[in-house]
Amino acid sequence: MYFPYSRIEFMQKIEHIGIAVNSLEKSIPLFEQLLGTLCYKTESVTSENVNTAFFKTGESKIELIEDSTEGSIIQKFIEKKGEGIHHIAFSTDNIEGEIKRLKSLGFEFIQEIPKKGADNKLICFLKPKSTNGVLVELCQEIV
Ligand code: ZN
């Protein structure tokens, strides 16, 4: 069988899509118009040197990300690729279990210990080279 897992609820949904932008000030009104909904939260994530802004789109969210410090990961991303989709985040109720499961399958992580990210989440990222070039974030709600 191609998909050998009996449990398919590991990745519960696409929690959000992260979009790298030059300026939240410019992009928040743009995405408010695009999505027809207001930004419901902005948050600075000091561990990543970024500022974020969130929009609800049904079950998922859009996260706009700008750098807050020279030389942040977002600035480097935009220099290389321009503004655009930066990562896809999947939610899980067991981030530690998911890290173990994915490592055992050969996936590589940027950091293997989850850290506190924006929006009250524990997060970790996989290395894009192990996921067809897509930066994948796992996130678990902190309760
Ligand atoms: Zn994210």
The burial of 1, by beta-carbon neighbours within 10 Å (0-12 exposed, 13-18 middle, 19 or more buried), is given as: exposed
CA 121–ligand 1 middle distance (angstroms): 9
Q: In Å, what is the CA distance from 98 to each residue of 92, 107, 132, 133, 139?
A: 8, 11, 19, 20, 10
| Residue 1 confidence (pLDDT) above 50 | no
| Ligand 1 is an ion; residues with CB less than 5 A from it | 18, 63, 89, 137
Q: Are 54 and 11 in contact (CB under 8 A)?
A: no
Distances (CA, A) of 58 to 37, 76, 85, 101: 11, 31, 19, 29
Question: Each residue of 103-132: pLDDT tens digit?
Answer: 999 999 999 899 988 888 999 999 999 999
Percent of the chain residues topping a pLDDT of 90:
79
How far is ligand 1, taken at its centre, from the CA of residue 76, in Å? 16
58-82 residue pLDDT tens:
999 999 999 998 888 899 999 999 9
- Chain segment 16-35, per-residue pLDDT in tens: 999 999 999 999 999 999 99
Encoded tokens for 87:
């990562």
Find the 3 Cα to ligand 1 centroid distance in Å: 27
